[in-house]
Homo-oligomer: A and B are copies of this chain.
Amino acid sequence: MTTRTRELKWIEGHVTAARGFLATGIHCGIKKKKPDLALIMSEVPASAAGMFTTNKVKAAPVRYCEKVIESGAARAIVVNAGNANACTGAQGLRDAEEMAAITARELNVTPAEVLVASTGVIGMTLPMDKLRAGIPAAARALWESGEGAELAIMTTDAFPKTAAARVDIDGVTITIGGMCKGAGMIHPNMATMLCFLTTDAHVPPDALRQALGRAVAVSFNSITVDGDTSTNDTVILLANGRAGGQSLESGPAYEAFIDALTCVSQELAKKVVRDGEGASKLVEITVEGAKNDEEAKRGALSIAHSPLVKTMMYGAEPNWGRILMALGKAGIDMDEEKTEVYFGPIQMFKDGLPMRFDWDAAVALMKQPDVQVRARIGVGGGSWTVWTCDFNEEYVRINGSYVT
């Protein structure tokens, strides 16, 4: 999972950074005052790939998109915040379809070219009157202002999350941009991670799907705030080919595209972790020497999910035993006698025995906004990195009294 970033150039911008994409965000009245409706559009037909929540309880827009995206093509995405359209039965699916139909009519595309995403409260049907008026207004704004899409998808987010980068592939400059929302599955009634990525690279649908799968595995699927999964989680990638150049489907050029897509995805994913409710730091956890990458990931996630590890990160005390405990319960092959644990550069455990280390230096290291933990478990060549945040009183305060 090494990512080659040497050719990557970060730029300002987000989902409209690549050529031929428009986006906007407006207020249509689902929320009281804040922007709550976004549109994203490609000026020309685009390849489309999507990945959706693995939660068995899937929101209506997720069920809708899973079907529509099978064609591998899309032109537009309509997104509302404030209402998740989840646990809303058959009416929910009809509402998602109507959102697509209105968007198609206003943007002069076919309904099958429109994807839909929702985020917000679970268990209430959408206020369709507001969307029936709002989507045409958003379509007008798309041509006129084309701003604020990244704000109109936010729910409990403390800040908008965007990233964009350029990379030269065989003399052609490719741009990849994106925006996302989410602060962990911290408010199940106002939850969800949504990410929209666009690129002007020329990538056919099958290759696009594979590229997205690989990028998401080491970015959005390698972060955790609290181990909970929303009913609405969605990542969509559109590629409209406006950059010109060869079709990217295999070989070094295709790998370079995946590398760049991975970098942008990781940048966005880390922003979600930093915005974890009450989070005061980003914790990077790497497990090496596992039987394979899959087991390394399970070990790293076991550490990242442990409330004991997360509260330790908050308290900034190097109780390395919690790392061993979390590895041990992951159900993966490990050789305790060959296991090593590091916090940053400081080694704390070696050959099955604790080491003397500078406690104060380790505490100082853990008080930084970025903390690295690395464990080598001595059985093979598998490795994986995940990102999480600390866990503190703020999370409990917010989630213990959500409605009142």
Which A positions have Cβ atoms within 8 angstroms of B? 54-58, 86-89, 122-124, 185-186, 188-189, 191, 226-231, 305-308, 311-312, 314-315, 317, 319-322, 324-332, 334, 336-337, 349, 351-354, 391-393, 395-397, 399-404
Contacts and interface: CB of A to CB of B under 8 A. Distances in A.
Nearest to A90: B352
A401 B317 contact: yes
Contacts of A227: 305-307
A311 B226 CA distance: 12
A306 B228 contact: yes
A47 to B, nearest CB: 30
A105 B396 CA distance: 52
A329 B321 CA distance: 29
Nearest to A315: B400
Contacts of A188: 308, 319, 321-322, 325
Given A226-B306, A307-B307, 8 more contacts: A55-B328, A56-B327, A87-B353, A226-B308, A307-B399, A311-B399, A315-B400, A391-B396
B312 A399 contact: yes
Contact of A393 (B315, B330, B397): B397
A334 B58 CA distance: 12
A396 B314 contact: yes
A87 B349 contact: yes
Contact of A228 (B320, B326, B352, B395): B326
A231 B329 CA distance: 9
B89 A55 contact: no
Contact of A400 (B305, B312, B325): B312
Contacts of A87: 321, 324, 336, 349, 352-354
Contact of A329 (B55, B311, B352): B55
B308 A123 contact: no
Among A317, A353, A400, A401, max chain B CB count under 10 A is at A400
Contacts of A337: 89
A54 B329 contact: yes
Contact of A325 (B57, B315, B320, B327): B57
Contacts of A327: 56-57
A52 to B, nearest CB: 12
Contacts of A55: 325, 328-329
Contacts of A353: 87-89
A146 to B, nearest CB: 34
B400 A231 contact: no
A57 B328 CA distance: 5
A401 B326 CA distance: 19
Nearest to A329: B229
A227 B88 CA distance: 32
A88 B349 CA distance: 11
A314 B228 contact: no
B325 A231 contact: yes
Contacts of A391: 307, 396
B336 A399 contact: no
6 contacts: A57-B336, A58-B328, A124-B354, A228-B325, A307-B307, A396-B396
A321 B123 contact: yes
A307 B395 contact: yes
A326 B229 CA distance: 8
Contact of A122 (B321, B352, B400): B321
A326 to B, nearest CB: 7
Contacts of A56: 327-332, 334, 336
A325 B402 contact: no
B402 A319 contact: yes
A229 B186 contact: no
Contacts of A331: 54, 56
